[in-house]
Chains A and B, each alone.
Chain A
């Protein structure tokens, strides 16, 4: 490996290659961050809905999860990027006013947000259902409403239980941002390929990207483990899945 290549200037640009990769990493993390917030909120709502007693709500929640789980991610990207603006004139009118980078970013966040939310919904549902029925009944017996039971009894435990699967969802999400390269988002994988193509240093560029992804994965893992320990309820084993 010749590390010097990373200090070399991008032809006709104002940056060195390492800065180019760093900016790609920035887009990767920003995309993953916003998509995660969206996925967490939507996934929690859908997951909770699927554990309620309302049959219709459960069915809609199930359909939501099945829809986003049974279509390949790259096809979902094409749907959001090409099909939705192609079918809905209002969306089309809006996206052509956007800066292309903004458009790609928004599309990637929405696409990954929905995709990941279905997976989180599944985790939230199984987390809540893994709690004994007695907890829910205890909540009702105390005079709590359904909302209050979820808010103060079920969800705090369920979230703790599902921290390990959520950790792998975060890591999946970060890895999945690479697919956004298919719509031209200038994230880490896009920049890696660009560097390889322009300098012909495929080995160096791909090695750098691999190292960066591994470091992200390790960091995400550590951070989540720390959160898990911080939030542990004394005397209650969490993460024993």
Chain B
């Protein structure tokens, strides 16, 4: 059985696989940045003292966190265009396409997870600092931007990065939409050349090396940041 293996298939299709990996990285970075941005806004909304705002934000976050990512991906891919169309009253659904749909889905989905991290980050800042900021005459947005959020980010950076590594792995699910991410590319090659065993083993090894190195880096970062408290 082992003698049957042909790892040359990897070399032959390497450029194609690397393009897939590039898309995976791109999608991860965009979704992490977008997710952090919207997640922070959501966290501020959740901590708002105005009930309708905090309840809406909480509802969104809890909904996103209780359904499988796959279901969310399919919702956005198939139904988002028609829903946008009917809400906006457009003549035809906007053309989103698989890859753009993936960007939107992951930003929206990750926002819910990043929200919870940022909420913990904001709450980790002592009430005294908020009071001090207001006493200095800063308004809410200034206090957030200049005092609270920079510290919250700093405290939560390792957690945000860990979540980003999880995201990097979750992105692989878009391969089920036929998007050519790293997994998608390898599935296509594996099936075309009937080299399933070699390709999937290769993908697992690459992911392991990447994710393990990244998480080791994050752990080191965590140790350095930890002294600040």
Contact = CB atoms under 8 A, between A and B. Distances in A.
Contact between chain A and chain B defined by CB under 8 Å: yes
Interface of A: 66-67, 69-76, 78-79, 82-83, 86-89, 171, 175-179, 181-182, 189, 192-193, 196, 202-203, 206, 209-210, 213-214, 216-218
Contacts of A87: 1-2, 197
Given A71-B208, A72-B169, A75-B183, A86 B68 contact: no
Given A70-B215, A74-B173, A206-B75, A181 B70 contact: yes
Contacts of A78: 196, 200, 203-204
B204 A75 contact: yes
B1 A210 contact: no
B206 to A, nearest CB: 10
Interface string B168-206: 011011011000000100000000000011001101100
Given A71-B208, A74-B172, A86 B70 contact: no
B10 interface: no
B207 A70 contact: yes
B68 A83 contact: no
A70 B204 CA distance: 9
B71 interface: yes
Contacts of B67: 175, 209-210, 213-214, 217
Nearest to B196: A82
Nearest to A216: B66
Nearest to B173: A74
A149 B147 CA distance: 47
B66 A179 contact: no
15 contacts: A70-B169, A70-B215, A71-B169, A72-B173, A75-B183, A78-B200, A79-B204, A82-B196, A86-B1, A88-B1, A176-B68, A178-B68, A178-B69, A209-B71, A217-B67
Contact of B183 (A74, A171, A175, A178): A74
Given A217-B66, A218-B66, 4 more contacts: A72-B173, A86-B197, A192-B71, A210-B63
Contacts of A196: 78
